[in-house]
Amino acid sequence: MSEIKRIGIITSGGDCGGLNAVIRGAARMGINHNIETFIIPNGFTGLYNLNMLELAKIDLNRADRIHSGVAGSEAGHSRVKISKIKDPDKYEIIKKGLEKHNLDAIIIAGGDDTGSVMVDLINHGIKCVHVPKTMDLDLQTYSVGSDSTINRISKFTDDLRTTGLTHNRALVVEVFGRYAGHTAFRGGIAADADCILVPEIEVDYDVVYEHFKKTYINRLLTSDTKSSTYIIVVAEGVKNKEGKHLVDEETIDSFGHKRLNGISSYIRKQIETYMKQDPEWERIFKNEGLYIEDLYTYPEIREVQLGHLVRSGQTSAYDVTFGKQGGGAAILLLKNGIYGVTVVGVKGNDISYIPTEEAIIQKYVDLDEITFYESFGICFGRKNEYYNPNFINHEGKIHRYM
Ligand code: F6P
């Protein structure tokens, strides 16, 4: 087993909370084991251009200046897939770059796309360990950044309630998450959203409208100041009635993914169309002293795209600790000759890991868990289903009572 003395660190894909904790954790663990760590800047772009770069060494003082609690990454990012680089000598160029800097291995923090590039690099003889990172929470393992994002979605959505109630508006809050709905689901639950729409469920817009109408009107009728609102959190990957993903403009990122956005404005228009055809709003608005002919005849709906805000700013303590575990564990794995794997976590004396090919298989929201929350009256864009749990005791025995 060749000794690992110098390691490059790459962070890649969409940035999020916890990446700086990964870098700091790796650097500090490295120092403890006489392994030097270096930042390879701007993701795989930096890796390909290593030959012409000077690398920042993360010694104790440099590590000290990396603030684990802020999102983003000191290392910088790009969305580049190595296999797509036209240059036929790209892998040789990368190897020469690693040799130039005497880098024995790389730690790569990223999501499924990044993980797939890592598998490619491993297949070309480059030693790497993967630290799971994505705000989308759609890997098989926990991924650093998700907790921070969910907290931010919850906070921003909750904050929006004040303006919703003040203007009697319904709000449609659109959040990142690509083709899985984990962050919308968990952020929406935490924010007491009335309706949560995720790509895992085909939306029945009739159901959404009926739930909106009932909830909004009930809130209005029971308010002594005639105030109401209704909050929908929608994942960007939800499809329209025709089963299509929505995009404001057909653009593809450099990794080859379609940029998704616009489902919130589609949902607003859908609900407005229903309201225009529903005479009950005029009656309710007149009864409640809200009606102004031609000007105010049914509630306003506004959409808000939280966009990159959910990945920025402060990192949760959970993500800082998980990030440090990931970075530190990656150093120890490489030192012990284990590579081509994804860190799962650290528990006591155990560092667990799985093959990266397995870690990056996309995980979707568990529909049974959604059914649990449907019991609280939250709308998920389908007719509520009945939650029929198994009860599992401390010996792992399953009972069914209901
Ligand atoms: O994969 C993370 C993510 O935040 C997705 O949820 C979102 O679709 C995408 O990145 C946005 O990417 P970019 O910052 O490149 O526009």
Q: Which atom of ligand 1 is nearest to the CA of 260?
A: 8
Kindly provide the b/e burial profile for residues 103-125, where b requires at least 16 CB atoms within 10 angstroms of the residue's own CB: bbbbbbbbbbbbbbbbbbbbeee
**Residue 136: predicted pLDDT:** 97
CA angle 334/337/340 to nearest 5° reads 70
Q: How far apart are CA 17 and CA 280, in angstroms?
A: 46
Distance 284 CA to ligand 1 centre (A): 41
Mutating to test ligand 1, I would choose from 79, 176, 362, 363 the residue with most ligand atoms within 8 A of its C-beta, which is 176
Residue-range domains of the chain with CATH = 6-144+315-359 (3.40.50.450), 150-310 (3.40.50.460)
Is residue 317 within a helix (H) or strand (E), and if so which, with residue range?
helix 317-335
**Residue 330: predicted pLDDT:** 98
Q: Which band of pLDDT confidence, cut at 50, 70 and 90, is reported for residue 249?
A: low
Percent of the chain with pLDDT over 70: 99
Q: Which residues line ligand 1 (CB under 6 A)?
A: 13-14, 79, 111, 134-136, 176-178, 236, 253, 259-260, 311
Q: Which band of pLDDT confidence, cut at 50, 70 and 90, is reported for residue 402?
A: low
Q: Residue 22 has which token pair?
A: 């990964």
Alpha helices in 40-89 (DSSP H): 43-48, 60-64
Alpha-carbon separation of residue 113 from 12, 35, 71, 357, 362 (angstroms): 9, 28, 20, 11, 11
Contact present, 149 and 312 (Cβ < 8 Å)? no
Q: Which tens digit of pLDDT belongs to each residue from 305-341?
A: 999 999 999 999 999 999 999 999 999 999 999 999 9
**Residue 87: predicted pLDDT:** 95
**Residue 248: predicted pLDDT:** 67
Whether the CA torsion 107, 111, 114, 117 is positive or negative: it is positive
Alpha helices in 145-302 (DSSP H): 146-166, 182-190, 205-221, 263-276, 280-287
**Residue 57: predicted pLDDT:** 98
**Residue 2: predicted pLDDT:** 78
Nearest CA to ligand 1 atom 11: 14
For this structure, is 147 an active site residue?
A: no
pLDDT surpassing 90 at residue 253:
no
Contact present, 152 and 310 (Cβ < 8 Å)? yes
Distance 135 CA to ligand 1 centre (A): 9
**Residue 400: predicted pLDDT:** 75
**Residue 158: predicted pLDDT:** 98
Q: How far apart are CA 131 and CA 111, in angstroms?
A: 9
Contact present, 256 and 81 (Cβ < 8 Å)? yes
CA nearest 226: which of 278, 299, 158, 159?
299
